[in-house]
Amino acid sequence: MSPRRFALNAMDNAMPRFYANFILTFGLNPGINFSEVHNLLQASLDTASEELPIFRRRVFSVASDEKCLSRGRLEAREHADWTPQVIFNDLSASWPEYEDLVDEGLPQDSLDGAQLVPSVHAKWDLDGEGAAGCIVQANFIQGGLLLSVCLFHSLVDGMSGSLLLKMLAKHMRLHQDDDGDAAELTITPDCCDYHLVPAIWTEAGNRLPSPEDFENSGDDAWRLAGMLPPLLSPKELPASSAFSLDPTEAPPPPQMTTTIFYVSATAFAELADTASEADNGAAVTTNDALMALLWRCTMRARHAAEPDNPAYTSPEALAELDTTLDGRLLFGERLPWAYMGTLIFIATTRMPFSALTSPSTSLAEIAQTIRKAVDSITQERLHTSYGLAAAMPDYAAARYPFATFEGAEACFTSFLGLPLLEMRFGGKLFKQGGLVDHLRPPRREFDVVCRRCVVLPQRPAGGFEVLLSLKDGEMEFLEKDSEFARFAQFLCH
C-alpha cells in the first residue's frame, strides 16, 4: 500500500527545518522496571497513532511543477507501517539518580542531546527516506525517566506539538486504566488538513503578490512571516543549503552560558502589577510584563558586556524584540483552534536602545510598547505575509531574523500558555499521578546560531522556569542584575 500524501502549505514550507526537541522527566514508582515502562510507552504510541495518524507522517521534498514553480517545497506522507518505535536507552549505570538531579534543579548542562535526543543523530534525507515527523526515546536512570520527543518543525509548531504530547499522555493513561479525571481530548480530521490555511486565505479574496509587489514588500511583512526578505530577486535567486543547527555547517560560535531561572507565582503577580502601573495606555497581559522584563534586562546585560558596540551605543541604535504569535485565532474563523499544522507568526517590537535600558523608562512603558505591537497585527497583515510566503521562489533559501549574534535583535519563545506540566501520563508507573516534573530542551541546542530565551510551561502552582542562553560575559551581568533578581531566581546552569 502506498503512503497517503499531503501537500504542506506556505507556512509549513517557510519554517526552519530542524527538530523541536523536548525532554519530559518523570519519577518512577518503586518496583517499576524499565522494560515495563518502555512497553507501555510503545503500546500507547501505537494506539495514539491509530487515533491521530499524524504521528506516522514523514516529511519529503517535492519538485516544482507547473502548478507551483517554487523550489524547496515539502509534503507529508503517511503510512500505517511508520508508527514511531520508542528507542530504549538505559543510562542507569552512568548517570546520577533521578531524585539527586531533581534536587539540584535538573541542571541544564546535564541534558546532553548526544545521549538523550535521537534527532541529534538522525540523518534525515528529504529527498530519500524523508524526515520522521516524530521520534521518541526513553532514557532511563535510577528512579526516573527522561522522555525525549523530537518533532520535525515543518510539520508541527508549539500548539500542534503540545496536542501531540497530550494525545500520547491520554493513551498512556488509558493503558493504565487511569483516565477518570482527565479532560477529554479529541482531534477531528479537519484539524489535520493542511489545505485549510490556503483555502481560508483564498476565500478571503487574497491572491499571490505580483513580482513587483513581491520585490518591493517591506521588511515588516516578511518579518511577520518569520523571515527576512530574499537576498536576490525571484528570477535570480539560486538554490542554497537549508538552515541548519549542525555545528559543522556554521562558523565557530562564541562561548555561551545557559542558565535556568525560576519565577514564582508570587513574583509573577508582583511583576504583572509593576508592569500595569502606568496611568494610561494599552492594557497589558502578564506575558507582556514578562517579555518587558526579559527584554530590558538581557539587552542591558549585552550592552554591559560590549560597552563599545555601536549596535547598542549609537544615537540611532534600535532594539528589536521578536516574539512568537499563534495565528490560529486571527487567521480565519473556519480554522479549528486545534489545527495540527504550523501557523506561527512573529510580532516585532522596536524601541530606541537607550530608552529600553534607561532607568527612567518603566517596565509598564515597555510592556505597553510590546502590547501595541502585538495589537497592531490584523488578519489583513497575516494574510499579506502569508502571500509572501506562498510566493517564495526557493524555500530552502529562506533567511531568519533570529539566526544571528549581530545587532540588537532578540527572539523570545513562550510556552507559558500551554499547560504541558498539567499533563498526566498515569499513576501506575509514575509518581505524582504521572505529572511531568520538568519539560526542557536539550543543552546548548541553538548555541551555534543565536542567543536563546524560552519561557517554559507554567506549573500547576503558578511558577515557571525561563531558559536563557547568552554569551559568557553577558550572562555574568544578567545574573547580577538587581531588577532581574527581584523577580527571577537563579536555579541552575
Q: Give the pLDDT score at 235.
A: 46
Question: 14: alpha, beta or left, given left = phi > 0 and alpha = psi -120 to 50?
Answer: alpha
The whole-number pLDDT of residue 1 equals: 78
* Neighbour-count burial of 102, counting CB atoms closer than 10 A to its CB (0-12 exposed, 13-18 middle, 19+ buried): middle
What is the layout of strands, in order, in the sheet containing 19-27? Answer: 87-90, 134-141, 144-152, 19-27, 438-440
pLDDT score of 194: 95
Rounded to whole angstroms, what are the CA distances from 165 to 159, 174, 308, 382? 10, 14, 46, 28
Greatest Cα-to-Cα distance within the chain, rounded to the nearest angstrom: 68
Q: What are 133-144's pLDDT values in tens digits?
A: 999 999 999 999
409-414/452-455 β-pairing: parallel
The answer to whether 269 and 378 have CB atoms below 8 angstroms apart is: no
DSSP 8-state class, residue 125: B
* Domain, as residue range, for 172: 4-198
**Contact call for residues 359 and 216 (beta carbons, < 8 A):** no
Q: Give the single-character DSSP code of 106.
A: -
Q: In this structure, what C-alpha cell is assigned to residue 178? A: 487511569
Tell whether 231 is covered by a domain. Answer: no
Residue 329 within a domain = no
Q: CATH number for the domain including 32?
A: 3.30.559.10
- Domain assignment present for 341: no
In whole angstroms, what is the distance from residue 312 CA to residue 300 CA? 9
Q: Does residue 401 form part of some domain? A: no
Question: How much is the pLDDT for 167?
Answer: 96
Q: Is residue 72 part of a domain?
A: yes
306 burial type by CB count under 10 A (0-12 exposed, 13-18 middle, 19+ buried): middle
Provide long-range contacts, Cβ within 8 A and 24+ apart, for 247-250: 247/448, 250/448, 250/449
The span from the CA of 349 to the CA of 291, in Å, is 11
Distance of CA 24 to the CA centre of its chain: 15
Residue whose C-alpha is closest to residue 9's, from 379, 390, 394, 337:
390
SS3 330: helix
Closest CA to 264 of 472, 487, 447: 487
Closest CA to 159 of 386, 328, 378, 291: 328
User: Are the beta carbons of 74 and 154 closer than 8 angstroms?
Assistant: yes
Helix (H) or strand (E) holding 142: none
pLDDT of residue 101: 97
pLDDT of res. 244: 55
What is the Cα–Cα distance from 390 to 489, expressed in whole angstroms?
Answer: 44
Q: CA 492, CA 201: separation in Å to the nearest integer? A: 45
Query: What residues in the chain have per-residue pLDDT under 50?
Result: 233-242
- Residue 128 within any structural domain of the chain: yes
**CA-based end-to-end distance of the chain:** 49
Read off the C-alpha cell for 371: 502590547
Q: Is 212 exposed, middle or buried (0-12, 13-18, 19+ CB in 10 A)?
A: exposed
The one-letter amino acid at 452 = R
- What would the pLDDT profile of 65-115 be if each residue is shown by its tens digit? 767 768 899 999 999 999 999 999 999 999 999 999 999 999 999 999 999
Report the domain count for the chain.
1
CB atoms < 10 A from the CB of 46, how many?
Answer: 16
254 to each of 248, 303, 306, 310, 446, how far by Cα in Å? 14, 16, 13, 19, 12
Quote the CA–CA distance of 393 and 306 in Å, as a whole number.
38
CA distance 465 to 486: 15
| pTM score of the predicted model | 0.93
In-domain check, residue 172 = yes
Q: Quick check: is 31 in a domain? A: yes
